[in-house]
Structure 1
Amino acid sequence: MGLSEEGEEQLNRKHLDLCNKLNLDSDTIRTSWDNFKTINKNFVLEGDSLHWLGCSIYVASRGVETPTVGSSIVKGNCINLTSLLRHSNLSFAQFFCKINKWAEMAQLPEDFLNKITHLKDNFGVAYSTFKEYYPIFSKIFIPPSPQDLEQKHHRNRKQRPVPCNSAKVFEFIWNLFITLKGGDTQYCTELIKSFHLLYACVDLAFKNALFAERRDLLNPQFELLPSDWTDASFLAPTEAPCLISYLCKSPSMLTVAMHMKVYELKGMITRLIKNKTLAADQKTLTGLFNRDVFEQNFKNVTNTYETQLLNKGDFDERIFLAEYRRQLLEQQSNMTTIRSLPYCDSGENGVPESPRTTGMVTPRGGDTPLTGRSFLGPREADMTPLSIDRNTTQKITRLHNMLNNRSPAPSEALLQLFQSCQKDPLAKVQNVVKTLGDKFVCAYTLNNPQTEDEAKNRLQIGITLFYKLIETILQNEKNIRNDISALVEKELFYQSMFTCCLEIVIFSYSSSKKFPWILDALDMEPIHFVKVIELIVRSKDQHSRDLIKHLNKIEETVLESLVWKSSSQIWDIIAISEQSMPKFEDTALPGHLLYNEQNSNRRIQNSDSNTDTPSPGPSATDCFQSPVTAHSTNVSRQLFPTMQAGQPLLQTQTHLVITDKDGNRKMIPVIDGDKLSQQQAQQQPTTTEQPQSTAPKKTGSLSIIFRKFYNLAGVRMDHLCSNLGLTDVDFKRKIWTVFEHSVRNTDLIKDRHLDQLLMCAVYVICKVTGSSLKFQDIMKFYREQPQSVSDVYRDVLLVREKVEPDGIITPATRSDLIYFYNSIYVEAMQNFAVKFRSSVQNTSLLLSPLPAIKRDLVSPSVQVTGNVFVKPLESPSPASGSSFNYYFSRSPSKDLKDINKLVNSGVTGKRLLIDGDTDYPGSKRISNRKLQSLVEERRNQNTE
């Protein structure tokens, strides 16, 4: 079923009309129509058919090899994307949304998806840069007047060209900027570099106007103009004032911006002068605005840009000029800001009309991962197209504020920490910084040697951040244990920290080098890199939400796929340990196991979990200790009470274990003994599983990795099952048991993705239990998860690459997830999966416990004021001596009055209700009759 309201003949006429407007060749017309018919036959194309026809034409045009100016051959037939969107009635936001859906339906190759990503990044950068451009221009130059534009709009060919007025200079600077920017892809995708290039172009134009004494161009109120600028006796200075320090507000970026002006821009303009594109003095770069050469300079720059545009097939960045012109003519007054860019009806003299751009797409990386949300701080302003530039600048500012003018060297406090250890690791640390720093610069400049200074600048910031975070983490570790020698002597710890610090710098500067580029550049193993992410997030520094989300996303990427590659060291570590992969039950922390429905909505509080603050998590020493460490069961028996067989921990634990900084353990009772006896008498255990230990059965750095992996899988499975309506705990435990078996007892996870095995586990249990759920339904709800990508179910490994004894290489074969399930997964799992059939009575089959999911990840607490929070009843927080709790339809009115008194006066009172209690303290008990009366009274109030 396709666009049923329109017949094929009507759609064909629309297609031909669109192709004629774009002046397409016959091959592109035929290919695009065939592709559209195929997609329209197999999928439901909702919305305007013209939008989908435009997508089909764009895809077909990208597959054509076309000779371009010169002797080169490019991919694509040089279609003007801006014209295509305008004639297809597509905004840029709609185009990026539709073309991604089209690529998924047509299963287009990765290079096409990369092209779309580049277009999306380029559009966001260009939009944000133009937003910055007009305010800068209006401070330095006389703002263009509507009269200048009207004169330009109405002149005919017989009239003389418009002289070099403010409006023409405004367009010339932008055309020069986008021409220079188009010569290097980094300027198109890195906002900061784009800003610096714009600053340099404006500085060049200011210098030319000043030396030419163009008082009709420069704003007389501009503060950097010489004091005698308006005098008749004015003489141009030998050196023009530098605008870079004026425009570049951040001192940390001034050096990079100055390098752009002195070296990069000068080289670019010199090349344009040499090839006759610009007429100017090659030594001083002046004379661009001379009346006898300006018009030709303007035309040459415009023609150069149009040539670039045809060679690359990108959108025309002059649309912003056309939109600016339209708005200025409409307002007929001084414009202080550029609003969102709607449809433009007029474009002439080479400036194209603009497709509608309202509802622009937001930058990538806006989705919050399902895990790690407890580490996020207060929500910052939402990312909008108007704040892309501001957000990038804020990230850099936060980074430099965190460094607080530190130097790229260890501080006195860090040196003292090193010297307090048995062996001073300073030489080892410096060697790591030198070795990895050289690798970083080499990899950064591999394809562009001109970025060496930029690479060194990023490196210096990374080194400074490295020493700061090392100091913070070691100080935290010192508070936990007196002797930190075991940690400071591990070179791997410093290598992982330094790699992560460089990744933070790259992210803060919005670099085009996306993760896992840094791992490949520094030859860092993902399994070691992931160990330091939580340590950095938990450090005392206040990281931004964007950075925490980025680091959390990186951690998920490593755990879901990178760590399971054939080349990963995890396989060697498992082999050396001579033990099988651990179960989740073996690595789980106390209170993190879920056995049945009775404890599905309850959570135990212990020394490793807290709802108000993120879990303390493993220490740095734990993360970098030996891969596998056996847990002492003797100590466990001495420290914790004995539980009956099959009794879940969440119903029986009576004490918490707290370890102080000296390593001493103390037990603190958390449940009244009489109340516990009553609960045990009223509620007999119904499960047959062995109780979980109060500490992980297996510890060590490898167990920490598996714990994180299983917790991540548990969160995603819970989210998927909830959307699919699979709420029964026993049913989810069957899914979890199958998933855990596929990871531990087969090689299905090797070179594959966590989500692939998870979706297969959900489907196989539905299949053997007689459920009518389809695989397409599972994939549909998987796509709603923030980490989902189409490659997970479109591109699954079937058979690995194999090298025959004679040296012939058999390439790997890949297909979609359903084919993988039928041909690979079923064969590997069928003997185990059939045990879960409803008709099979298998009393010896034990289901694995589920990871206990923190429900407050979905409904977090909201701070009202001070220490007053509102939390959902499903995820109550542990009470403390300084908090109040009020349960609707349960608590007495006095509790609410006490809370109101606290809010109004700021005086902290004593706790009245213990979180999780089913009864009130003895001194505050309320009879059932009085409580029932209160409930009825509130019900009557609600119905009135």
Structure 2
Amino acid sequence: MSIAEGVTITEGEIIVLPEIHHIVDEAYERFQELCADLNLDAITKDNTWRTFVNVKQKFTLEGDPAHWLCCAIYVACRQACIPSVGSPSTFHGNYVNLTRLLRTSRLSLVDFFDKSRKWADMTDLNQEFRSKIERLERNFAVTTVIFKKFEPIFSGIFKDFSRMELDEYRANRKKLSPRSAADLFEFCWGLFLCVKSSLRISDDLVNSYHLLLASTDLVFFNVAHANRKSLLTPKFQEMADMAGIVDFRLIGSDPACIINVLCDLYDGISVEAKTIKEYWLKPKIRNMIDQGLLRGDPDTLTGLIDEDAFESNSKRLEKEYEEYVLTEGDFDERMYLSVERQADFGMDTQDDFLKTFDKQALFKTCPPLNELRHIMPATPLTGKKYLGDKDDPLGSPVSSATQTVSRLQALLSGRKAEASQNLRDIVANFPKNPIPTMEERLKNLSELFCVRFACTKGEKQPGMHTEFAYYRSQLAQTLFYRLLESILAAENKQRSDKSELSDVMMDESFQISLFACALEIVLFSYSSPKRFPWILDVFDLPGYSFFKVIEIVVRAEENLSRDVVKHLSQVEEKVLEELAWTEDSPLWVALSQRNEPIPSCEEVFLPSQMEKSADAQNPENQPKRYAVIKTPQGEKCVPVAVGGSNQSTLIIQDKNSSQILGVVLPSKHGDKPKRGSSTALFFRKFYHLAFVRLQDLCKNLTVEDEVLRKIWTCLQQSIVNFVVDLMKGRHLDQIIMCCVYVISKVVGNEKSFTEIMRCYRLQPQSASKVYRNVFLGNGEKGDLIKFYNTIFIVCIQKHALKFNTRSEEGEVPLSPVPHLKATPMSPCRKVATKHSVFLRPLKGANKSPSPSKQLRYSFARSPSTNLRAINTMVQLAEKPKAAKRILGEDGTETDMESVVPNKFVKRLQEFIDDRQTMQ
């Protein structure tokens, strides 16, 4: 039977059809209208229409043709090179106004992101353009969150005004006036946008938010200097008086600085906001004043809202921001100020949009925001059973980000970017002192990081200045020494021989990996757009080497925030699924030089971590293994038990006479890796991740448990027998989807690739590139089905056909599956640690059995005395410690309290083992 499929991937609105020989006249008419409205040049027009026609011949573009033309025009405009006076002599883009283009095309910003990604797939656009769209999406999310914070901040300081009447007021006024709170609102937002765009930090949440606070502080300072007390709310007037701002005409910057107040009220971090104010906001405004672009005092930065300067300053800020929007092709963030223009977002009103945006469900229901998980990171599948959603997702991105930064700063409080005396005392007894080597290496790595952070190859980000990078690298060095001290403090107590630890500390791979991990924590904490695996590219660090230090860090530092631990789990998944399998990964060297065959899941998991299937429990269904033994009569081939000894030889004795019957010789392929070895630990987590994702995919596809076990067995066989052919340069999810397709077809319960990919896109780690850009060999890439037809099925077809019930070889023994902790799907939830206190819905509560003695309280039904009795019982218990959950070596999450300290050495020893193997 044939189990190949000769179709092409389809997704959403894009349907692949045979060649089309006609062009719809309506599309050309709409195209001409768009070009006339946008005043496009002839070259851009020609490139746009040629591309659109080519795509139209290959794909059916459902919906309004103008929407697809909008994408084609935007790409053509961004690819155009326009001569420029000065340096550089040319730049990309031809001053297209994206907001105007969208409005003319009647395409919302949300839909534009969605269609742009599909257009990029159909036209095979380069990564630079795809990154541009991702930055636009992130900018959209960041600005939306910040504007939502800006409204209460402004209304808390300045007198309120009706937002619904703002458009009408704007249309009727003749002159901008600093006497109006509405004008002041627009001025403050315009000031923020102008500075933010010049710094190129639009997609940086933490820096952008603190810039907003600094901009608000500067506006307040000008109001105070102008003695415009009437613009303030009575409540803030009282707060200003309490803060010592009595004379509003004081010129000095400190008396009228309200950054501390703003940070206390609105989840800011004072040191961050003041740094942005002093080193970025003030120099920018001062430079504009010196150039004559703004009117004001360059020394005190006052006079910006004076009666004779306010209107010109407002218009100048707008003009400078408009130039940025046109040259960079970004959307116009002034649209947040207008209720009418908020329709361009794709929602009816901004309130509706913001309400929807802040719900985590939007990440799957609204495609354009799929890539924004770095702002509100999604919980990976391996953690969904243990980490719940935030209690208050509304408005949480800013507060979560600032809390993470505050937690990091508290962790490093009082420390410097150097080894502490305690750390030096610990290594004083080491045969070799690693501190001097570390200091020199960290200096070089920090310099490299600063250069790459300031300007990444292929990106135009002049705003990511070296000073930003230097500050981040100093924090990372401080964290590096803190982590190192925590690691050594735990290990130092466990062993008297310091030579082993000394060797690990001197290891170059360990030092680079630990510093890279510290930098990743800092970048994540500050919501930096430099997202993993960017840090690995900076240091040319293999993902497989970086993977080994993750658990060391999480186990050693118990004060890492919940979000940081969750992020490190996502990073670990990224390595397990893809980065460890790159063509140049050290994993291949480790497998070849150690002469270790690929282990099965059962061989690397502990027996207690595996469920027993019916096949596994039946000895007749156990696969037999044979070994050659030496006997007095010569060599014999005898069966041996599955999962036998890890020793290199196995002595066989007669149980009655204790006579030695023979010795089992080593296999030609070498021994399986021991359960505690570096390779085995990697595969243990890899198999756990694979099964969790497979189980979730099969659940959404409504695949029966028996078929799931067959798919799991097939997946294991694919890894064990064809790991190089199938995994090198590829992604775990690609192999999972292919196994689901082939087994479901063999067993007669066929699932199409379209169905499989639809369910795959529901998983938090899903990405279209996984099934659209699959490595086919020799530098070539194609879609998932081409990989299936040309590579996967060639390797696995013989094995897959055995799962057919009519197979001549009989039923294939099924592999046992990993034992996963029970999912808390029961409506009865335990809410106390020391006592059996449960919460459950009232409906059907009496149907389930319960203990004879119990305290029960039903809301709106039971008397308050019942609730007091429960509270009294709970209060008698000791307050439980907050146990941080980490991803254990078995791939499951465990409490930090249960971690045995000497497990550190298992991870640290990997660096020595691998180094010795490579030599």
> Normalized against structure 2, the TM-score is what?
0.71
Q: What corresponds to 1:288 in structure 2?
A: 304
Tell me the CA shift for residue 239 of structure 1.
7.2
Of 308, 313, 316, 2:332 maps to 316
Q: What corresponds to 1:57 in structure 2?
A: 70
Tell me the CA shift for residue 816 of structure 1.
0.9
Judged with a 3 Å threshold, the aligned counterparts in structure 2 of structure 1 residues 896 and 535 are, in CA distance, closer, same or farther, namely farther
Q: Which consecutive unaligned segments of at least 5 residues does structure 1 have?
A: 328-339, 345-353, 601-628, 639-694, 801-811, 873-886, 910-944
Query: Structure 1 CA distance, aligned partners of 2:164 and 2:349?
Result: 22
Query: Structure 2 CA distance, aligned partners of 1:151 and 1:413?
Result: 66
Judged with a 3 Å threshold, the aligned counterparts in structure 2 of structure 1 residues 592 and 859 are, in CA distance, closer, same or farther, namely farther
Q: What corresponds to 1:133 in structure 2?
A: 150
1:738 and 2:703 equivalent? no
1:700 and 2:704 equivalent? no
Show CA shifts across 1:260-280 (max 9, x none). Answer: 333333432344235432233
Of 131, 134, 151, 1:117 maps to 134
1:716 and 2:716 equivalent? no
Q: What corresponds to 1:807 in structure 2?
A: none
Q: What corresponds to 2:610 in structure 1?
A: 593
Query: Structure 1 CA distance, aligned partners of 2:163 and 2:695?
Result: 60
Tell me the CA shift for residue 164 of structure 1.
5.9
Q: What corresponds to 2:528 in structure 1?
A: 511
Tell me the CA shift for residue 822 of structure 1.
1.6
Of 503, 510, 519, 1:502 maps to 519
Tell me the CA shift for residue 223 of structure 1.
1.4
AA at the equivalent of 2:382: T
Q: What corresponds to 1:813 in structure 2?
A: 780
Q: What corresponds to 2:378 in structure 1?
A: 367
Of 747, 761, 769, 1:791 maps to 769
Query: Structure 2 CA distance, aligned partners of 1:860 and 1:472?
Result: 40
Query: Structure 2 CA distance, aligned partners of 1:372 and 1:251?
Result: 27
Tell me the CA shift for residue 563 of structure 1.
1.0
AA at the equivalent of 2:396: S
Query: Structure 2 CA distance, aligned partners of 1:309 and 1:446?
Result: 20
Show CA shifts across 1:136-176 (max 9, x none). Answer: 445555556889969954647xx666566443333223222
Query: Structure 1 CA distance, aligned partners of 2:833 and 2:593?
Result: 52
Of 581-590 and 101-110, more deviation after overlay is shown by 101-110
Of 366-375 and 778-787, more deviation after overlay is shown by 366-375
Q: What corresponds to 1:188 in structure 2?
A: 202
Of 147, 159, 167, 2:182 maps to 167
Contact (CA 8 Å) 1:587, 1:697: kept in 2 or not?
yes
Query: Structure 2 CA distance, aligned partners of 1:375 and 1:147?
Result: 44
Give secondary structure in 2 for the equivalent of 1:510.
Answer: coil
Tell me the CA shift for residue 285 of structure 1.
3.8
Show CA shifts across 1:639-696 (max 9, x none). Answer: xxxxxxxxxxxxxxxxxxxxxxxxxxxxxxxxxxxxxxxxxxxxxxxxxxxxxxxx97
AA at the equivalent of 1:589: L
Q: What corresponds to 1:653 in structure 2?
A: none
Query: Structure 2 CA distance, aligned partners of 1:41 and 1:495?
Result: 48
Query: Structure 1 CA distance, aligned partners of 2:464 and 2:773?
Result: 37
Judged with a 3 Å threshold, the aligned counterparts in structure 2 of structure 1 residues 87 and 570 are, in CA distance, closer, same or farther, namely same
Query: Structure 1 CA distance, aligned partners of 2:412 and 2:650?
Result: 44
Judged with a 3 Å threshold, the aligned counterparts in structure 2 of structure 1 residues 213 and 53 are, in CA distance, closer, same or farther, namely same
Judged with a 3 Å threshold, the aligned counterparts in structure 2 of structure 1 residues 15 and 368 are, in CA distance, closer, same or farther, namely farther
| Map 1:599-748 → 2, pairs under 5 A | 631-632=646-647, 697-724=674-701, 725-728=703-706, 731-744=710-723, 746-748=724-726
> Normalized against structure 1, the TM-score is what?
0.69
Q: Which consecutive unaligned segments of at least 5 residues does structure 2 have?
A: 1-11, 16-22, 364-371, 457-461, 618-643, 654-671, 840-844, 858-865, 878-919
1:852 and 2:813 equivalent? no
Q: What corresponds to 2:194 in structure 1?
A: 179
Tell me the CA shift for residue 516 of structure 1.
0.9
Of 297-306 and 489-498, more deviation after overlay is shown by 489-498
Contact (CA 8 Å) 2:167, 2:339: kept in 1 or not?
no
Contact (CA 8 Å) 1:726, 1:732: kept in 2 or not?
no
Contact (CA 8 Å) 2:688, 2:818: kept in 1 or not?
yes
AA at the equivalent of 1:193: N
1:520 and 2:537 equivalent? yes
Query: Structure 1 CA distance, aligned partners of 2:298 and 2:130?
Result: 42
AA at the equivalent of 1:566: E
Query: Structure 2 CA distance, aligned partners of 1:87 and 1:324?
Result: 15
Judged with a 3 Å threshold, the aligned counterparts in structure 2 of structure 1 residues 397 and 831 are, in CA distance, closer, same or farther, namely same
Q: What corresponds to 2:896 in structure 1?
A: none
Of 221-230 and 777-786, more deviation after overlay is shown by 221-230
Query: Structure 2 CA distance, aligned partners of 1:476 and 1:897?
Result: 44
Indicate the structure whose relative CO is greater, using CA pairs within 8 Å and at least 6 residues apart: 2
Of 556, 563, 575, 2:592 maps to 575
Give secondary structure in 1 for the equivalent of 2:683.
Answer: helix
Contact (CA 8 Å) 2:159, 2:231: kept in 1 or not?
yes
1:401 and 2:410 equivalent? yes
Query: Structure 2 CA distance, aligned partners of 1:3 and 1:830?
Result: 30
AA at the equivalent of 2:569: N
Tell me the CA shift for residue 178 of structure 1.
0.9
Give secondary structure in 2 for the equivalent of 1:867.
Answer: coil
Contact (CA 8 Å) 2:190, 2:334: kept in 1 or not?
yes
Give secondary structure in 1 for the equivalent of 2:304.
Answer: coil
| Map 1:44-83 → 2, pairs under 5 A | 45=62, 49=63, 53-54=66-67, 56-64=69-77, 65=79, 70=84, 75=92, 78-83=95-100
Give secondary structure in 2 for the equivalent of 1:223.
Answer: helix
Contact (CA 8 Å) 1:182, 1:308: kept in 2 or not?
yes
Of 491, 500, 503, 1:489 maps to 503
Judged with a 3 Å threshold, the aligned counterparts in structure 2 of structure 1 residues 798 and 325 are, in CA distance, closer, same or farther, namely closer
Judged with a 3 Å threshold, the aligned counterparts in structure 2 of structure 1 residues 8 and 355 are, in CA distance, closer, same or farther, namely farther
Contact (CA 8 Å) 1:18, 1:87: kept in 2 or not?
yes
Query: Structure 2 CA distance, aligned partners of 1:3 and 1:561?
Result: 27
Tell me the CA shift for residue 31 of structure 1.
4.9
Show CA shifts across 1:432-472 (max 9, x none). Answer: 54443343334333465973333232233323333333344
Tell me the CA shift for residue 414 of structure 1.
4.5
Of 818-827 and 790-799, more deviation after overlay is shown by 818-827
Of 467-476 and 175-184, more deviation after overlay is shown by 467-476
Of 388, 391, 400, 2:400 maps to 391
Query: Structure 2 CA distance, aligned partners of 1:53 and 1:355?
Result: 26
Query: Structure 2 CA distance, aligned partners of 1:214 and 1:137?
Result: 15
Q: What corresponds to 2:915 in structure 1?
A: none
Query: Structure 2 CA distance, aligned partners of 1:708 and 1:518?
Result: 22
AA at the equivalent of 1:359: T
Q: What corresponds to 2:669 in structure 1?
A: none
Tell me the CA shift for residue 530 of structure 1.
0.9
Show CA shifts across 1:476-527 (max 9, x none). Answer: 4467666565235303444322221221111010001111111122332211
Show CA shifts across 1:571-622 (max 9, x none). Answer: 222232133333333322222334524889xxxxxxxxxxxxxxxxxxxxxx
Contact (CA 8 Å) 1:91, 1:358: kept in 2 or not?
no
Of 363, 380, 383, 2:390 maps to 380
Query: Structure 2 CA distance, aligned partners of 1:716 and 1:784?
Result: 11
Tell me the CA shift for residue 189 of structure 1.
0.9
Query: Structure 2 CA distance, aligned partners of 1:553 and 1:55?
Result: 34
AA at the equivalent of 2:400: N
Show CA shifts across 1:158-212 (max 9, x none). Answer: x666566443333223222212211232x20112221333344334434444445
Give secondary structure in 1 for the equivalent of 2:476.
Answer: helix
Give aligned-pair identity as a percent.
34
Q: What corresponds to 2:321 in structure 1?
A: 305
Q: What corresponds to 2:367 in structure 1?
A: none
Contact (CA 8 Å) 2:70, 2:102: kept in 1 or not?
no
Q: What corresponds to 2:904 in structure 1?
A: none
AA at the equivalent of 2:329: G
Q: What corresponds to 2:759 in structure 1?
A: 781
Give secondary structure in 1 for the equivalent of 2:381.
Answer: coil
Show CA shifts across 1:751-786 (max 9, x none). Answer: 111122222233333445555333333223222222
